Amino acid sequence: MGYRFPERIAICGAGVMGRGIATACTLAGFPVIVYDIEQAILTAAKQEIEKNLHGAVKRGKLSQNEMDKALARITYTTDLRNCTHSNFIVEAIIEDRTAKLELFTQLESFISPHHILATNTSSISIGSLQAGLQHPERFLGLHFFNPAHIMKLVEIVRGPFTNEMVVEVAQNLCDKLGKRSVLVKDVPGFIVNRVARNFYNEALRIAEENIASYEVIDQLVKSAGFRMGPFELMDLIGIDTNFAVTQSIWEQYFYELRFAPSLLQKQYVEAKKHGRKTGEGFYNYR
């Protein structure tokens, strides 16, 4: 089975990550199609991608003409079939195994076996997703970091059934995107998100125990050299997504206490205070 280097990229899910990945892909010269279930989300995604590119112009990284061309390379759709025009599809929908598998099942009914399917999941086992696919050999994890058009690292996750040529195409794609790719094993949370669980969870526990406020914890961590504090970072990531990732890693490690999610974080999720994307999280952005 031959797998070709992508001529265009399709991105399923136009949330925090889909927007950043689309920006990175168009900046590297790829035609991009962005799919989501609601037109309103696509409209917001278009605005944010425009803002990302305006930012690059302001910082002198891009000319006005290049920005116009980059914007013209992106199309938006609520019709999943339009993604089949691309031979490389990156899924960046909610962190939910069932939702992801439903999407892949639909996609597999339209696409040929040489299309490559990649998931941006932060924590879900690639093998468990492959188990639900007709063609698991063309599937892998391609884990970008937030903001995806700025952060250089991408974890490439080879599942138990991933074809070696698919890994090679993904590595070449990351090179073309100007990313630094690292091949990692298919374990819960891969490497970075497993390490990062303690960063978020301990900070949440310190706040729960009333030892210090979100602001103080963030300030201290930044004074120690981190670029962002844990609460600022959870607001950027999306508290709902961060909570789903913690829960997923905790479950996959057989409920080991060291990965246990925080009740405080759950309360923010339930109150729909999801961080920047909803206008309020640990901090207020309105």
Residue ranges binding ligand NAD (CB under 6 A): 12-18, 36-38, 41, 92-95, 99, 103, 120-122, 143-146, 237-238, 241, 245, 277
How far is the C-alpha of 229 from the C-alpha of 21, rounded, in Å?
23
155 is catalytic: yes
Inter-CA distances, 230 with 39, 197, 221, 236, 237, Å: 32, 10, 8, 10, 10
122 is catalytic: yes
Sheet holding 153-157, edge to edge: 74-77, 32-35, 9-12, 88-91, 116-119, 139-144, 153-157, 180-184
256 is catalytic: no
Which residue has its beta carbon closest to ligand NAD?
15
Q: Give the active site residue among 120, 163, 193, 262.
A: 193
Nearer to ligand NAD, 57 or 276 (CB): 276
Least Å distance, CB 156 to ligand NAD, is 13
Least Å distance, CB 190 to ligand NAD, is 10
Distance of CA 81 to the CA centre of its chain: 22
Q: Give the active site residue among 143, 181, 201, 242.
A: 143
Least Å distance, CB 18 to ligand NAD, is 6
Nearer to ligand NAD, 176 or 276 (CB): 276
Nearer to ligand NAD, 13 or 261 (CB): 13
Would you state the structure tokens that stand for residue 225, as one six-digit string? 């050299």
Least Å distance, CB 17 to ligand NAD, is 3
Nearer to ligand NAD, 14 or 207 (CB): 14
Contact 126, 118 (CB under 8 A): no
CA-nearest of 147, 247, 259, 160 to 205 is 259
Angle, CA of 76, 78 and 82, to the nearest 5°: 70
Active site residues: 122, 143, 155, 193
